[in-house]
Amino acid sequence: MTTSLEFFFDCSSPWTYMAFTRIQPIAKRFKQAINWKPILVGGVFNSVNQSLYAARESMFDNERRLTYYMKDLQDWAQLCDIRIGWPDFHPVNSVKAMRGCFVAEEAGLLIPYAQKVFEAYWGELRDISDDTVLEQLISELGMDKKSFFEKIQSPEYKDRLRQNTDELIARGGYGSPTLYLNGDDMYFGNDRLPLVEARLAALQDPGRS
C-alpha cells in the first residue's frame, strides 16, 4: 500500500521552518514522497483560528511566558541546526512569497526556494514581502524575474494559494505546519513530527502498529 504525506506550510512561521527542515530526512529515511502544499496561514487564522491573535498578544504582554518562548525557540533552532531570529516586522505578509512556491515548483526548485525564503526571513531577518528581497532570492536560484512576478500577480497563482488554504480549512486544519498521512490522519505542529515518524514506521511495518 502506498502512503501519502502532505505538508501544508507557510514560510512566515518559525515552527514551520523547523518542521520543514526535520521532515525531509524523515521522509528520505522511509523513502516517502512529500506533497508540499503552500498556504497563507493568515487566511486560516482569520477563518477558523482568530483566538490565536489574542493568545499571541497575551504572551507578548507576559514577560515570563515571552522569555521562555524565546528560549524554547532557540533550543529548537539549535536542535534543527538553523538560525532563528525575530523580525521586527513579524508577522509579515507572506502572500507573494507563498504564491512564488508554485512558480518554483514548476521549475523543480520548490524545496531550495522555500529554504531560501525561510532563511531570509528567520535567519537574516529580511522582509519577504519586499519585491527586492524576492528578486534576489530567485536570482540566486536562476529563476526568471519577469516570469516570476508576472505569475504571482496572475489570477491562476492567486487561486492556487487560495485553494490550498481553503482545502486545509475544509480538512480540519487551523495552522502551519499541518501534515496528513493517507488523507485524513492529521498532525499539527513541529513537535508532532515524532508521531509522524512513528506512524510512517508502523505503516511500512504493520506488525509494529
pLDDT in tens, the chain (209 residues): 689 999 999 999 999 999 999 999 999 999 999 999 999 999 998 989 677 667 677 777 888 988 999 999 999 999 999 999 999 999 999 999 999 999 999 999 999 999 999 999 999 999 999 999 999 999 999 999 999 999 999 999 999 999 999 999 999 999 999 999 999 999 999 999 999 999 999 998 876 55
42 within a domain of the structure (yes/no): yes
Query: Domain range holding 187?
Result: 5-49+87-208
179 within a domain of the structure (yes/no): yes
Task: For residues 27 and 171, give the distance between their C-alpha atoms in angstroms, rounded to a whole number.
Answer: 22
pLDDT value of position 1: 66
Task: For residues 113 and 125, give the distance between their C-alpha atoms in angstroms, rounded to a whole number.
Answer: 16
Element (H, E) at 88: none
Query: Which cell numbers in the block locate residue 198?
Result: 512513528
Task: Give, as one character, the DSSP assignment of residue 178.
Answer: E
Task: For residues 89 and 68, give the distance between their C-alpha atoms in angstroms, rounded to a whole number.
Answer: 21
The count of domains in the chain is 1
Q: What is the CATH number of the domain that holds 136?
A: 3.40.30.10
Query: Which cell numbers in the block locate residue 17?
Result: 521552518
pLDDT value of position 83: 97
60 within a domain of the structure (yes/no): no
55 within a domain of the structure (yes/no): no
- What is the DSSP annotation of 7-57? EEE-TT-HHHHHHHHHHHHHHHHTT---EEEE--HHHHHHHH-THHHHHHH
23 in Cβ contact with 179 (< 8 Å):
yes
Q: Is 183 helix (H, G, I), strand (E, B) or coil?
A: coil
110 in Cβ contact with 52 (< 8 Å):
no
pLDDT value of position 135: 98
pLDDT value of position 30: 96
Task: For residues 187 and 197, give the distance between their C-alpha atoms in angstroms, rounded to a whole number.
Answer: 11
169 within a domain of the structure (yes/no): yes
